[in-house]
Structure 1
């Protein structure tokens, strides 16, 4: 069976980002994590491979041993349907902290409340209250 899994590439902050993400969503967890060892081709102690879940969806991530001329872009984002206004406000504040607001929380006509942020790691999040 073919599977499709979102994969996030960080350049040194992978474990910190995953810890933030799993702290924000119920029943989220890091399911596996291995680190670069000495002479293994990557930054020793940083994440070589990780798997984690958010809202039942599996993700993979790592710290790239190479710095690339690209990073995350809002053209790919994680879309979160929130259950209530309190959850939306909490996630918007936590994910936006140290990041960048792309669309402030508001009524844009397609939902009751919507907001879009890039978190401090560069990952883009669309937060929606239908």
Structure 2
């Protein structure tokens, strides 16, 4: 029974990691969807579940260094921070204008504020 549970957990984590990779890839083309955070999450999810996927992400020519830097130092470049905050708040504002619901607006602003605080607490380099 434990072996089946392990295989299910591994499959679920690998599936979640692949979903994050797909969302991260979509973020390259969609300005309101962030790329790097999804790839970092995919790396974390795949850490034990899929070493092959993890290694591909860590060695990626474009995103690998940002992922490694975040995992090793919890650091972000100033350019990445600026881009993340601008994209975050623009997408939140657009979402608020589209929905125009008070409860959803409060939720979106709360999430954006918490994400902003988290990003601003990261060590900055460059």
Fold shared by both chains (TM-score > 0.5): no
Q: Which has the higher helix share?
A: 2
Q: Which has the higher strand share?
A: 1
* TM, length-normalised to structure 1: 0.27
* TM, length-normalised to structure 2: 0.28
Q: Which has the larger radius of gyration?
A: 2
